[in-house]
């Protein structure tokens, strides 16, 4: 069962990305989850399937990023749209 998306959970997800800890980020994904990195050779950039591959992809992102001050702010997303979508699934 998937955890319901809430504002708090979205903030936790953003904080996980900001932590630079690939294991923590990966903990938000299901075992059969998919992560689409924004850059790469695939249609959606680079796609990683399954939790261990997702961890490797997230770690590769952390290894490549230029600035240690990089910040992902989940509230920059249309959080209300994300929350509404999670209520219908």
Residue given tokens 């230029």 in the structure block? 66
Q: pLDDT tens digits for 69-86?
A: 555 555 455 555 555 555
Q: What is the reported pLDDT for 82?
A: 52
Q: What is the pTM of this model?
A: 0.68
The structural domains of the chain, with segments of one domain joined by +, span 7-88
CA distance 50 to 68: 27
Instruction: Copy the structure tokens of residue 69.
Output: 């001050």
Q: pLDDT tens digits for 5-44?
A: 788 988 899 899 988 899 999 999 999 999 988 877 877 7
Instruction: Copy the structure tokens of residue 5.
Output: 């998306």
């Amino acid at each position: 069962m998937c955890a319901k998306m809430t504002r708090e959970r979205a903030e936790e997800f953003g904080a996980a990305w900001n932590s630079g800890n690939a294991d923590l980020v990966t903990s938000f994904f299901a075992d059969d989850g998919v992560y689409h990195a924004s850059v790469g050779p695939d249609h959606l950039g680079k796609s990683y399937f399954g939790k261990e591959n997702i961890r490797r992809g997230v770690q590769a992102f952390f290894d490549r990023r230029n600035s240690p001050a990089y910040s992902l702010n989940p509230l920059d997303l249309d959080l209300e749209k994300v929350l509404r979508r999670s209520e219908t699934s």
